[in-house]
Amino acid sequence: MRNTVKGNVAEGIPYSAAVIGGGLCFVSGQFGTDADNRPIGDVEQQTEIALDHMETVLKLAGLSLDDVVKATVWLTSLDDFAAMNRAYRTRFPADPPARVTVQVERLLFGAAVEVDAIAAIGMG
């Protein structure tokens, strides 16, 4: 059985903010964008906002960033790795989740960073 978490999702794109199943919560990719899906600021600020959005989705599922066990970060340039990491480290200062960081050619909405996550239910 699976449950979907309703959250702020881009209009016209068929996806859920998160899906819960098998004791895990799979959070869809989050961007550092405003309500109109326009990127806000540089990579560091976009990462902060993407993680704010992720925190909101996790709260809707009854979870928090402390429950995240795996994250994937997509950057349009690995030159931005340090800036992304500064923002990421503030949200996961100790015992961070497993993570993969990948460079891609483009992201939706012209964003420079996207972050998704898997959270374990019953961890925190």
pLDDT of residue 108: 93
Reported pTM: 0.93
- Residues 118 and 69: beta-carbon distance below 8 Å: yes
Burial of 88 (0-12, 13-18, 19+ CB in 10 A): buried
Per-residue pLDDT reduced to its tens digit, 95-120: 999 999 999 999 999 999 999 999 99
Q: Is domain 2-8+15-120 annotated with CATH 3.30.1330.40?
A: yes
Per-residue pLDDT reduced to its tens digit, 35-59: 899 999 999 999 999 999 999 999 9
- Residues 75 and 111: beta-carbon distance below 8 Å: no
* Average pLDDT over all residues of the chain: 93
Which of the four pLDDT bands, split at 50, 70 and 90, describes residue 6?
A: confident
Q: How far is CA 79 from CA 30, 87, 94, 111, in A?
A: 20, 15, 24, 15
Domain ranges of the chain: 2-8+15-120
